[in-house]
Amino acid sequence: MLIQMRRRTLPVFLLSCLFSISRGDLEAKVLIQYDPPQAAPAASAQQTLQTYLHDHQAELSLTPDLSNIRLELKQSSLLGDHYRFTYIAGTPATPLANSALIVSVRPNGTVYRIFASLPEALPIIRLEGKTASLTLQQAYDLVWKDLKVHGALLDEPKSEVAYVPVNGTLHKAYKITLGVAAPFGYWCYWIDMYTHQILKREETRLTRQPKRDLVPQINMYGGPIFDRTQAFSEYHIRHMDLGEPTTTTPAEGGALVFDPDPRTALHDTTLRNDSPKEAFLMAYVERTLHDISFDGTLYSLKGPWIQLVDFEPPNESPSMSIDGHWSYQRDNNGFQDVMTYFHIDQNQRYIQSLGFTGDKAIQGGPIEVDSNGVDGADNSHYIPSSNRVAFGHGCVPDNEDADVILHEYGHALQHSMNPHWEGGDTGAMGEGFGDYWAVVYSLSTEKGRDFERFQMFNWDAPGCWPGRRVDKTDIRYDPTHTYYAHSPVQGGISDELWSTPLVQSFVELQEKGYSPDDINRLVLESHFGVGPNSTMRDMAGIIVHTAKLLYPDPNYAQVFEKHFVQQGIL
């Protein structure tokens, strides 16, 4: 049995945005247990679970009757089932924001891992003479006025109620999420239901490279503000169900694409965005588009695993075809459309080939993607609040590079496996995993295995931005530090600190003759049963533990452990 307990000066109650609380105010406690001691398995998984929770009340901060947790989700993976609980408090019972208790159970009924982001014992605020009087509509109004919204809604407005920690007490608060065209972004607000104060605002997109700080622009804006009620109404009218959808049948199609990108395909380091069209001709390859939709007249890029839609500016409808074939080149948006469809569809089918199907599926349905979005910026993003992806066409169109497409899809995969992928070091680990997921695909292609193997975004980055690498073995982990996405660290970027040991472990194992599929299966499986506020050290331990459970050959665990130790993560 290995038990790991950790206390860090980081608020435990986090959702998609962080609270404006200094790091010294609260300490989060994360508890991880591997193969914990337990009684003999009961007749059913539910009985085993109940017995285990009753027997470990103190260490898991549970009440004797287990009334302070609520089952939120059951997930299945290759190793077992994962029961996700949320801690609750108050009357009526209200979640403690982003607290989590996850119990992972093997098919034989034994508990093999516990992950708990434990709530601190904090009093619930009772303001004398005040009640939690803020209504949802008032909360939306506060957010709208604070943002000075002057663009259309991009997404369905969302709200939640939870207790959040502020200055040593729990405040009941609304979490409001709004996606708007101006100021462009997907905004998360926490608003105190007693004081009506804004506790925190955060722009929540997960972007390929750092996003521009829009707060100064918001503060300086002095123009007209849209009417919120009218904007909400117009959004719902635009998305109103107008009857039966058009009947379509699945069909096979074809397209010219880059695989993985033109620079890699041609092994040409001189190729640039402004190179003549003729320089790209030998980089195009013909690929099959599986299960696209045919309505009897036109073929569209809507399939079982990806659907191209237009939900962000610049507003341009996805391309269609009269014969099921897209023969566009890179000067037409139709080319970026099929690049996006092909690479995501192919990647999902690969994941299923690893065994993640049925109740074990990862992103087990069609993800909506805007092939030409992000307000035209030189960036791409995943939107956790709506599980959507968009690609920008600034400089090199991002989705001409399979690295960018699979990196963004990697965010979607992580949030499917771990719905509370936030807090702790998850910012840097999310970027690092996306880079890993993209690189190992490039290494699987004929042209990618021996060209700039450890360079990320081989086509998108040169001449546009610095890009990243996955061989920064000199970066060292500091357990007292929190690693956010894209943050500078000595020797590189926080993202590279996580991607490097993953990729270097993959390469070493592959060179030793181990199957790339087995390695990828291990990395994906390790994400199940993990909760919020995890650190690189937590995740590294989980990967090593998962390797020992998944494969009898000790080399898998030993190689990953070696590379994590080399960078100070373990």
- 451-468 pLDDT, tens digit per residue, is 999 999 999 999 999 999
Judge whether residue 24 has pLDDT over 50: no
SS3 433: helix
SS3 246: coil
The CA distance from 370 to 567, in Å, is 37
The model's pTM: 0.94
361 and 424 part of one domain: no
Determine the structural domain holding residue 195 and report its residue range. 136-204
Q: Where residue 273 sits, what CATH number does that domain have?
A: 3.10.170.10
105 and 170 part of one domain: no
Residue 216 is assigned to a structural domain of this protein:
no
Q: Where residue 457 sits, what CATH number does that domain have?
A: 1.10.390.10
Considering its fold, how many domains does the chain have in total? Answer: 4
Mean pLDDT of the chain: 91
340 and 479 part of one domain: no
392 and 452 part of one domain: no
Instruction: Specify whether the CB–CB gap between 112 and 105 falls below 8 A.
Output: yes
**Burial of 310 per CB tally in 10 Å (0-12, 13-18, 19+):** middle
Taking residues 372-378, what's their average pLDDT?
96
Tokens of 122: 């904090």
Residue 209 is assigned to a structural domain of this protein:
no
Residue 223 is assigned to a structural domain of this protein:
no
Q: How many CB atoms lie within 10 A of CB 434?
A: 29
Residue 230 is assigned to a structural domain of this protein:
no
290 and 384 part of one domain: yes
Tokens of 300: 């569209």
- pLDDT of amino acid 334: 98
- Per the DSSP assignment, residues forming a β-bridge with 100 are 117
Q: How confident is the model at residue 157 (pLDDT cuts 50, 70, 90)?
A: very high
260 and 356 part of one domain: yes
Q: In this predicted structure, which of 157-166, 274-283, 312-321 has the lowest mean pLDDT?
A: 157-166
Residue 353 is assigned to a structural domain of this protein:
yes
185 and 303 part of one domain: no
